[in-house]
Structure 1
Amino acid sequence: MTMRTLMTGCQIATMLPDGAPYGLIDDGAIVVNGREIRWVGPRLDLPQEFAGLEAMDLGGRLVTPGLIDAHSHVVYGGNRAKEFEMRLSGASYEEIAKAGGGILSTVTATRAATQEDLVAAALPRVDAMISEGVTTLEIKSGYGLTPDTELTMLRAARDIAETRRLRVKTTYLAAHAVPPEFAGRADEYIDTVVLPTLRQAHGEGLVDAVDGFCEGIAFAPDQIARVFDLAKGLGLPVKLHAEQLSNLGGAALAASYGALSADHIEYLDDQGVAAMAKAGTIAVLLPGAFYTLKETQTPPVASMRKAGVPMAVATDCNPGSSPMTSLLLAMNMACSFFGLTPQEALAGTTRNAALALGLSDAGVIAAQKRADLAVWDVSHPAELAYTIGMNPLHRRVFEGRFQ
């Protein structure tokens, strides 16, 4: 028998795009039927069919959709604390990468790890995310850069979804960097590693989307296009690390493939904004990397806002440029560094984050959506982006079950 739950005594930030700010309902009620939301609205409008349910009074707390982290590299081996020291001494991200550090140093550690090692190392980071109300997490490969290790990373990501009450969406990112054994031979790496491994990963059901890093220290647009052509042929959606350090036109390229998202985009130009708006491609803002790398070029938030490009916010959790697990902190950074409003920041970790992952069943509180919710000890939604270093989560609800 499917269990029904009635929640009352709460404010509800539905995050529906129309109506009141945050889609806010004062003195609201939510009816959950199994894993699905059955009804939501003002408590006084509760339909008679639910009137007999025993109510769970949430004591005036705020309920939001469960948070969604739409860009993470949470599965990896080792750490790069030493490079943090190097950056503080003046070395740039690009200088570290060209010296064999950066992504490639994590590649070495990841290749040396077993699947079990990778899961064990990732779980404390994942648990920190869950503790802040995250119910859906995207996890990328991209630190193996060999067929076996890329597949191992994806399998580890799938294992995390089995180990924790969390929805995981996997992204294939073998086009993340050119490994040292293919130095100067990026096209050969794509032909012999990236493309055949994508076919194998897809055949094993390990891939939900395909990503790449379009940058001078990684791959050129024409090389990314070859990866996207195969993804399209396999029926997989694409997304792209684009315009982080320079403008190679990656966002416009991604939009031409109907990409779910273009991520980072600090150097995005008007042409890229227009292309994303036309394609419905989500802009995923990653303030953790901006902060860690001490960048000064900010994404063109005002231009995207004017063009109607939806903006998501994610941790970019990774060992080098964003060793951060706090989506709440990312929200605060997006407001403080990039000029988002608290409402935009919350939409960026709920409704728009769902769109960035191609999800239509999450990110808002509405009938027939997943019952993935977060209950907060706050009096107003703006507090979620306002506070720094404070975790006001009261309880998390995943697939209709309280934790």
Structure 2
Amino acid sequence: MINIFKNIDSLVQISNDNSKFKTKENMRNICEIKDGAIIFNEKILWAGKTEDLGKALESIDYDYMVVEEMRGKTVLPGFVDPHTHLIFGGDRSAEFARRLEGATYVDIAEEGGGIQSTVRATRAASLEDLIKNGKKLLTNAIKHGTVAFEIKSGYGLTTDSELKSLEAIKELRKQFPVHISSTFLGAHDFPPEYKDKRDEYVDLICNEMLPLVAKNNLADYCDAFVDKGYYTVEQGEKIFLRAKELGLKIKMHADELADVNAASLAAKVGAISADHLLFVSDAGIEAMKQSGTVGTLLPGTSFFIRMPHANARKIIDSGAITALSTDCNPGSSFTENMQMILWLATINLKMTAEEALVASTLNSAHAIEQSDKLGSIEEGKEASFIILDVPSYKELFYHFGYNHVEKVFIKGKEF
């Protein structure tokens, strides 16, 4: 069986030449087809104009077809969210209320709140509790159009709790049809019991946690929060080199709170992505460009905790690969809605609508090494796309705060 959607008002392919990512002015070319059509099963078999459907069908073998009209609709590749913290225990709404009264993210962290409050709750949570909470967030994210994710550990900060979080991610992989990349983030913060023994905790990560993560095949990537007050460049490099020895690839929280040359470290160790980048230096941007490290921007975080915004214009105009993500987490960006992130990217990061679309689909897929399968509507790729109940993709940005997604298809099946 094949499925045909025809008379699509706006079919946004993002790419039509099998590009793995787009940079600079090419990010404004989203390969939109008016009155478009697609033929698909679990994969995209063809995409083009409705008037060319007949000719396309001549070269496709099928027993029967299901045809649907898509007038008044927009079809996009599903969003890819390459930086999330969906596995955690507890609730931090009280901290958010305090921030509204004037307390800063750093103030709360220094009082034992912030990441540490979630650490306590995550350690106390059962595996089943973590899975239940993750399922709820994942389901809601998919309903808002996301078809692939990266999910991090990082709220346990003990060997057992970190492994428990990674086991929860493993279970979500089994229960959902979407792609999920798993990241070990034992270096998210320093646990209270190692407050004055930071190097000892780094040794624990390198000598105990990472070998167990690798042995049990629980993660694709290793991440660390390399920033002011957290992991130094030297500590981060030690962790990353050990992770690479064990077969893990690298992602990084970089230069969110200050310029500590974390982006340059990301380039040096061959990180797949360096994320946040609020205070990244020109040298860091150039290093990422040369290494092919994706710069993943998280405008929800800056918005939520009232921080300066990453300089997306400088990063894009440099030619560095630029992606977008929710950073969904309980303390500094509690949203799983990629549509909200696209809107914030255009308003606060000064990206165009087209740049935001590329950064949240093809480039974000590249940030988890999946752009050969996801991120564009092209022949041979997964039929993982979304249908918006609007005649133009521009409505996604113009009419904000509303879920425009009517249907989500993952590998050819409606979710």
Q: TM-score, normalised by structure 2?
A: 0.92
Deviation of 1:194 after TM superposition, in Å, equals: 4.8
In the alignment, does 2:356 pair up with 1:345? yes
Provide the C-alpha distance between the structure 1 equivalents of 2:212 and 2:352, rounded to a whole number of angstroms: 42
What is the letter of the counterpart of residue 9 of structure 1?
A: N
Provide the C-alpha distance between the structure 2 equivalents of 1:115 and 1:95, rounded to a whole number of angstroms: 31
Q: Deviations for 1:304-359, whole angstroms, at most 9, x for unmatched residues?
A: 12211122111111111111121111111111111111111111110110011111
Alignment partner for residue 45 of structure 1, among 46, 49, 52? 52
Deviation of 1:302 after TM superposition, in Å, equals: 2.2
Q: Gaps (5+ residues) in structure 2?
A: 16-21
What is the letter of the counterpart of residue 404 of structure 2?
A: P
Identify the residue that residue 63 of structure 1 maps to in structure 2: 75
Identify the residue that residue 261 of structure 1 maps to in structure 2: 273
1:3-402 correspondence to structure 2 within 5 Å: 3-10=1-8, 11-16=10-15, 21-33=29-41, 35-46=42-53, 47=56, 48-50=58-60, 53-295=65-307, 297-359=308-370, 360-402=372-414
Deviation of 1:195 after TM superposition, in Å, equals: 4.4
Q: 1:395 to 1:89 in 2, by over 3 A?
A: same
Provide the C-alpha distance between the structure 2 equivalents of 1:84 and 1:39, rounded to a whole number of angstroms: 47
The answer to which of 141-150 and 6-15 deviates more is 6-15
- Aligned to 2:112, the other structure's residue is in SS state coil
- Aligned to 2:249, the other structure's residue is in SS state coil
What is the letter of the counterpart of residue 315 of structure 1?
A: T
The answer to which of 159-168 and 242-251 deviates more is 159-168
Provide the C-alpha distance between the structure 1 equivalents of 2:206 and 2:163, rounded to a whole number of angstroms: 11
- Aligned to 1:125, the other structure's residue is in SS state helix
The 8 Å contact of residues 65 and 372 in structure 1, kept in 2 or not, is answered as: yes
What is the letter of the counterpart of residue 26 of structure 1?
A: K
Deviation of 1:20 after TM superposition, in Å, equals: 8.1
What is the letter of the counterpart of residue 376 of structure 1?
A: L
The 8 Å contact of residues 195 and 227 in structure 1, kept in 2 or not, is answered as: no
Provide the C-alpha distance between the structure 1 equivalents of 2:395 and 2:294, rounded to a whole number of angstroms: 25
Q: 1:67 to 1:187 in 2, by over 3 A?
A: same
What is the letter of the counterpart of residue 4 of structure 2?
A: L
What is the letter of the counterpart of residue 91 of structure 1?
A: A
Provide the C-alpha distance between the structure 2 equivalents of 1:386 and 1:154, rounded to a whole number of angstroms: 38
RMSD: 1.7
The 8 Å contact of residues 346 and 385 in structure 1, kept in 2 or not, is answered as: no
Provide the C-alpha distance between the structure 1 equivalents of 2:395 and 2:170, rounded to a whole number of angstroms: 33
The 8 Å contact of residues 66 and 135 in structure 1, kept in 2 or not, is answered as: yes
- Aligned to 2:46, the other structure's residue is in SS state strand
Identify the residue that residue 18 of structure 2 maps to in structure 1: none
Provide the C-alpha distance between the structure 2 equivalents of 1:26 and 1:375, rounded to a whole number of angstroms: 15
Provide the C-alpha distance between the structure 2 equivalents of 1:232 and 1:24, rounded to a whole number of angstroms: 40
Provide the C-alpha distance between the structure 1 equivalents of 2:251 and 2:117, rounded to a whole number of angstroms: 24
Deviation of 1:76 after TM superposition, in Å, equals: 0.3
Q: TM-score, normalised by structure 1?
A: 0.95
Q: Deviations for 1:335-384, whole angstroms, at most 9, x for unmatched residues?
A: 11111111111111101100111112111111111111111111111222
The answer to which of 353-362 and 194-203 deviates more is 194-203
- Aligned to 1:231, the other structure's residue is in SS state helix
The percentage of aligned residue pairs carrying the same residue is 35
What is the letter of the counterpart of residue 223 of structure 1?
A: Q
Which has the higher relative contact order, 1 or 2, with Cα contacts under 8 A spaced 6 or more apart? Answer: 2
Q: Gaps (5+ residues) in structure 1?
A: none
Deviation of 1:122 after TM superposition, in Å, equals: 2.0
The answer to which of 97-106 and 384-393 deviates more is 384-393
The answer to which of 392-401 and 379-388 deviates more is 379-388
Provide the C-alpha distance between the structure 1 equivalents of 2:328 and 2:127, rounded to a whole number of angstroms: 19
The answer to which of 159-168 and 323-332 deviates more is 159-168
Deviation of 1:187 after TM superposition, in Å, equals: 1.3
Provide the C-alpha distance between the structure 1 equivalents of 2:243 and 2:121, rounded to a whole number of angstroms: 28
